[in-house]
A and B are shown apart, each in its own frame.
Chain A
Amino acid sequence: MDNKWVLQIQNVSKEYGGNSVLKGVNLSVKPGEIHALVGENGAGKSTLMNILFGMPVIHETGGFEGEIWLNGKKAGIESPKNAMEAGIGMVHQEFMLLPGFSVAENVKLNREPTKSNWFSKISGKKLETLDLHKMGADTRRALDRIEMTIDEWLPLVGMPVGHRQFVEIAREIDKADLSVLVLDEPTAVLTETEASNLLSVLKKLAESGIGVLFISHRLEEVYEIADTVTVLRDGEMIATMPKTETKLETIAEMMVGRKIKRLGTAESGRATDDGDILEITDLCVDMPGEYVNGANITVRRGEILGIGGLAGHGKLGIANGIMGLYPSSGTLICDGEEIPLNNAQSSLEAGLVFLSEDRRGVGLLLDESIEDNIALASMISKKNFLKRVGPLPISVLDRKSIREHADKMISLLEIKCTGPQQSVRRLSGGNQQKVCVAKAITMDPQVLLVSEPTRGIDVGAKERVLSMIKKLNREKGITVVMISSELQELRSMCDRIAIMYKGTICGVLDPDAPDAEFGFCMAGKGGIPSD
């Protein structure tokens, strides 16, 4: 190996409990290069970062395959400490800073220069006194390099997020043998000025010979500063190319992918003109990471409406807001009647049923049986499956009808299990999702909101879940709103596809619209509204 590269990731793969999240990824960073790693939610970016930085979560789940080379030397990274020693600097997405410490204390955390004293000579290094003067001086130097003027002894508490980001960078460049700096979504929490400051600092750092690995899904900024772009999707490396040879829309297209084979196109132009069933006006949802900021859209009776867009642009917020799971404002009219927001019960009563993207967290009672998971939600919100206790005015669960219903659902959806009493925690992702579908059907929905229905489940189950949803729409006339990060999935299922950008609907497209148009829309370049 020659020293042409500061960082080489070779053939790295990683599995979480049989679920493969990274498949043979190769990536190399030159000294002085800004290398951007882009990809959708769940593409494996964070896992790759965790591997690079030796985070415990990797080694607790069985380590990874492949090799990592730094400056031409193979590095065995098993802990954050190893990674640090090998010369990897990491600016975390969630700040790894102590708010009660000053800037200098944070920059020098666990690398404090010390002076020996009378006690430490007996009991060891731990009791050496901190060399505050040197701590301050080192920090000042690091801050100066990134042109930060803040006082190094100021506590972090109350400092704007932008400054904290710079403190993180200062900490990394203060490390003597830093050769590659990794930044995980560094601009996600910054204002636009802060972000552009950051980018210019990164450029300067790269000029000094440090390799920069920059992870983001904000395509504009990637496009602005990167020398090389690598696209990751579903744990696979899709492409590595110099920025000069690519276009913004191409990257967007690559991120959302075209790989999955079509399940057959939707019959476009299908008659869905029975009027509107849902009218969403000025919807704002306060869902962290998926804010919706004044979205307007109508859903036609009997259609499958797709909602797409890159992660963080609010597509998940729409369904969660409508269902009263996150604080929201705006108006929601269903079947001509206004439904109060922030109230799950009223949405349920209007016949809206939600299949959450967070199956294990929101969708299921993991330690309860399959039958309970299918029946309880319907029992609570629709008062089904209850029977009287003799002549008393008390109703209790009707176990027999719950069992019968569960048996029916298990055979209908082909849920693989040992019986209706098995706990859902033990089921595979696909079967868990089928339980969620069964639960939704049991609620007898008028409009079904499906969020990321195929996330984290295997290919076979994916198709079954999707065709089940389609069947519900076609045979029972249930209106479906489907939210997905997989564009191809949407295009194969939906009658219309709305694309979200920065919390608003950027455009509503026909599923057969050319790829480039979707790419434009996701990059916020506006679309041609189809209605």
Chain B
Amino acid sequence: MTDSFKQLIDKVGLPRLTIILFLVALMVVATVNHLPTSMLLSNSLVRIGMNGVMVLAMVPSVQSGAGLNFGLSIGIIAGLIGMLVVMEFKLVGFFGLIIALLIACALGAAAGYLYGLVLNRVRGQEMMIGTYTGFSIVSGMCMFWLLAPFRNPEMIWVVGGKGLRMTLAVNDSLAQILDNFWQFEIFGVEIPVGLLLAFGLACLLLEVFFRSRLGVSMKVAGANPVFATSCGVDVDKMRVLGTVLSTALGAMGMVIYCQSFGYVQLYMAPLMMSFPAVASVLIGGASARKATVWNAVLGTVLFQTLLTIALPVTRSVIQGDISEVAKTIISNSMILYALTRKEGDGE
């Protein structure tokens, strides 16, 4: 009995098991308290689709050996700029979304390239450097938001007529455009088909990439750099490529997040956004050295469902909004756990 329990822990991993049990408990409380299950499910699906791509961004960076991308905020900023440009020129509908994605992708890739060059020179310290590069860029961009040449009166401060506002509403033709695409309802649960399709497509493309020669070379470079070198793989290039992919995915993930959220939050808002993404992929069973698309999907599903259900459930038990606090505790302890675990590289 205890043996099989131990085996279960070994296989699923203690934190993941805890989170699954916690999730089950919350679901039981939710049903007992007659909370609107269908609405909770709909919300969970939206949040999974919203956050999924950003979590997915962790996979190439880990696979290439550059570690968990704590500097994802760099990509997030690129995504924000993509959104802002589209909003400034009042581009609408799918055309607007695609332009936003393209700009985000291009800027993300360019920023990721530079960031990758930096990471190549600070091996072993990527996480710390990534975090503070992210922090610096987010705070540096605050000055940019104030000075940036945006003219659209809906976006800039009413008083003074200069500088972008803290929170900008996405116009109606762009907001939730993916969520509403082919959306249908089943048993009272709204399925955001377009959003989930976009996430699914990203997963599929990434999975195909990791089966191609380039993708495998990148994986090998991450798993054992010397082995890769002896196969003629340029390890440094692969790490840069992994960072570029990661940052570009983060940027596009942010565009998807913003359209679903309906608002673009500027200034210090993106500061801590990389941590939940890092935590999600870890919850999905990844480590600092190994992460798969499956880890990202599973982690996003578990984490976002947990957060969606936790809010109304705790509200029905105690007062106040505990979900932000829960998010902080879960994501940071998850990362902490991963950091203190001995890496299984055996050497």
A and B directly contacting (CB within 8 A): yes
| Set B211, B223, B230: member contacting A368, Cβ < 8 A | B223
Check if A453 is an interface residue, CB within 8 A of chain B: no
Please pick, from B211, B232, B344, the residue contacting A397 in the complex, using a CB distance under 8 A: B211
Stretch of A208-216, A226-234, A356-364 contacting B (4+ beta carbons < 8 Å): A356-364
Closest to B289 in A: A367
A325 contacts B347, C-beta separation under 8 Å:
no
Select which of A324, A364, A365, A383 is within 8 A of B213 by beta carbon: A383
Bitwise, A407-418 to B at CB < 8 A (1) or not (0) is 000000000000
Instruction: Determine if B230 and A360 form an interchain contact, defined as CB atoms under 8 angstroms apart.
Output: no
A383-B213, A394-B208, A394-B212 known; A323+B223 contact, CB < 8 A: no
* Interface 0/1 of A322-361, CB less than 8 Å to B: 0111000000000000000001110111000010101011
Q: Mark B67-86, 1 if CB is under 8 A from A, else 0.
A: 00000000000000000000
Please give the distance in Å from B71's CB to the nearest CB on chain A. Answer: 26
Identify the A interface with B (CB < 8 A): 323-325, 343-345, 347-349, 354, 356, 358, 360-368, 376-377, 379-381, 383, 386, 389, 394-397, 425
Other than the given A362-B226, A376-B220, A397-B216, 7 more pairs (CB < 8 A) read: A344-B230, A345-B232, A361-B224, A363-B227, A364-B227, A366-B224, A396-B211
Contact of A376 among B216, B229, B290, B346 (CB under 8 A): B216
Contact (Cβ within 8 A) A325 B220: no
Given A365-B220, A380-B213, A360 and B232 contact (CB-CB distance below 8 Å): no
Question: Whole-angstrom distance from the CB of A367 to the nearest CB of chain B?
Answer: 7
A356 and B208 contacting across the interface, CB-CB below 8 Å: no
Structural contact, B232 and A380, CB atoms closer than 8 A: yes
Chain B residues 283-317 with CB under 8 Å of chain A are 290
- For B226, the chain A residues whose CB sits under 8 A away are 325, 358, 361-362
Instruction: Please determine whether B231 and A425 come into contact, CB atoms closer than 8 angstroms.
Output: no
Query: Please, which residues of chain A bring their CB within 8 A of the CB of B227?
Result: 362-365, 377
Q: B127 interface residue, CB < 8 Å from A?
A: no
Instruction: Provide 11 A-B residue pairs closer than 8 Å at the C-beta atoms, listed in order of the A residue.
Output: A324-B232, A344-B229, A362-B230, A364-B227, A379-B213, A380-B220, A380-B231, A380-B232, A380-B233, A381-B231, A394-B208
Contact status of A386 and B213, CB under 8 A, knowing A362-B227, A396-B208: yes
Q: How far is the CB of B265 from chain A (nearest CB, A)?
A: 37
A361 CA to B232 CA, complexed, in Å: 16
Determine the residue in chain A with the shortest Cβ distance to B232: A345
Instruction: Output the nearest chain A residue to B228 by Cβ-Cβ distance.
Output: A380
Cβ–Cβ contact B231 & A376, under 8 A: yes
- B217 at the A/B interface (Cβ < 8 Å)? yes
B: residues with CB less than 8 A from A are 208, 211-213, 216-217, 220, 223-224, 226-227, 229-233, 290, 344-347
The reply to whether A325 and B229 contact each other, CB–CB distance below 8 Å, is yes
Distance in Å from the Cβ of A440 to the closest Cβ of chain B? 11
Say how far A451's CB is from chain B's closest CB, in angstroms: 12
Q: Which residue of A lies closest to B223 (CB)?
A: A365
Q: Closest CB-CB distance, A447 to chain B, in whole Å?
A: 15
Determine the chain B residues whose CB is within 8 A of the CB of A361 once the complex forms.
Answer: 224, 226, 347
Minimal beta-carbon separation of A25 from chain B (angstroms): 27
Known: A365-B224, A425-B346. A323 touches B216 (CB 8 A): no
Query: CA of A345 to CA of B233 in the docked complex: distance in angstroms?
Result: 7
Residue of A whose beta carbon sits closest to that of B221: A380
- Complex CA–CA separation, A343 to B229 (angstroms): 9
Contact across chains for A395 and B230 when beta carbons are under 8 A apart: no
Contact B230 A323 (CB under 8 A): yes
- Complex interface: chain A residues within 8 A of B230 (CB): 323, 325, 344, 354, 356, 362-363, 377
* Minimum CB distance partner of B224 in chain A: A365
